[in-house]
Amino acid sequence: MSRTVMVMDTVATIECYGDNAKEACDKAISEIQRIELLFSPWIETSEIYKINKTAHLSPVKTDPEVFKVLERCIEVSEITGGAFDITLKPLKDVWNMKSESPKVPSKEEIDEALSICGYENLVLKDGCVSFKKEGMALDLGGAVKGYAADRAAEVIKKAGVKNALIDIGGNVYALGESPKKREWKIGLQHPAKDRGEYFETIELSDKTCVTSGSYERYFEQDGKVYHHIMDPKTGYSADSGLVSVSVVGKSSFEADMASTAAFVMGQEKFLEVKDDFDIETFIAVDKTNNWKRY
Ligand code: AMP
Ligand code: MG
């Protein structure tokens, strides 16, 4: 049984095998949609929307599940020295990568946006969220697809299905074994080649693999490439020398944050903090498309 839906601004595909596969698929899709309704910064009833609207005025009582996710995101900001930061929405908005003809914002626009970014201006206390500055806003685009993949995997297991594949915009969770009766084989997209051309395959069973790549969403101006993963220190696209990072582990939420952070930090700096994440290995691809597993 397989289902594909548009969710979280990307494509999600769930495949389930064996008894109860249809029910498991449907429940997993509903679970991903439920998470989108909690975390989307665009859906007016979401927790994140409510926070973004009023957390500068007074503390916003927040759904406990969302609060827990935010707490871990802030820990990860601290661990990574701010390379991973969920408060970059004002910056993301001035870059407006999703527009039909994106262009590089002025230095003033970037500096103005940066002045209202920064996880240290986000206060989490007693289940409430508040902002120290007006104009602040959260964007969990670097973490929530992974979180959703974990929750979908839980729902599928609960429905009694052992073999399944979850793919939420490149956040893959592989349960049990593939129809070929062996570990799932996942191809890692070659950054410079056509979609579906892999530079390496990895085998997964009850594990996740999450990739952050600058080739996913970008535009070019004056011969320079600008992509969607931001360096909070500069306000420009991260430029650590990597073009892709894939992270393998048991938690897709952790792997998602780790892939974004590693992309921003580069492999050497990330290696210093790797053990503070619940992840196993990562594969980094540099600008010359050389790759290494750590
Ligand atoms: P990913 O594809 O998981 O690496 O996430 C990229 C998305 O995360 C972007 O589209 C932004 O929504 C958000 N993002 C960009 N830069 C950062 C960053 N430095 N820290 C956290 N999230 C980020
Ligand atoms: Mg990520």
Closest CA to 131 of 167, 86, 80: 86
- Listed in sequence order, the residues at least 6 apart from 232 whose beta carbon sits closer than 8 Å to its beta carbon are 82, 83, 85, 88, 91, 114, 117, 118, 264
Between the CA of 260 and the centroid of ligand 1 the distance, in Å, is 6
Cα→Cα distances 287→161, 259, 263, Å? 40, 16, 12
Residues β-bridged to residue 207: 174
Residue nearest to atom 8 of ligand 1 (CA): 142
Q: Mark residue 268 as left, alpha or beta (left: phi above 0; alpha: psi -120 to 50; beta: remaining).
A: alpha
How far, in Å, CA of 172 to CA of 131, rounded?
A: 33
| Structure tokens that stand for 291 in this block | 């790759």
CA 14 from centroid of its chain's CA atoms:
18
Between the CA of 18 and the centroid of ligand 2 the distance, in Å, is 31
- Listed in sequence order, the residues at least 6 apart from 88 whose beta carbon sits closer than 8 Å to its beta carbon are 117, 139, 230, 232
Backbone angles phi, psi at 282, to 5 degrees: -140, 155
pLDDT per residue of the chain (294 residues) written in tens, 0 to 9? 999 999 999 999 999 999 999 999 999 999 999 999 999 999 999 999 999 999 999 999 999 999 999 999 999 999 999 999 999 999 999 999 988 889 999 999 999 999 999 999 999 999 999 999 999 999 999 999 999 999 999 999 999 999 999 999 989 999 999 999 999 999 999 999 998 899 999 999 999 999 999 887 889 899 888 999 999 999 999 999 999 999 999 999 999 999 999 999 999 999 999 999 999 999 999 999 999 999
Residues, CB within 5 angstroms of ligand 2 (ion): 142, 256, 259-260
Backbone angles phi, psi at 213, to 5 degrees: -140, 145
Between the CA of 257 and the centroid of ligand 2 the distance, in Å, is 5
Residue nearest to atom 5 of ligand 1 (CA): 142
Can you tell me which atom of ligand 1 is nearest the CA of 89? 12
CA of 279, nearest ligand number: 2
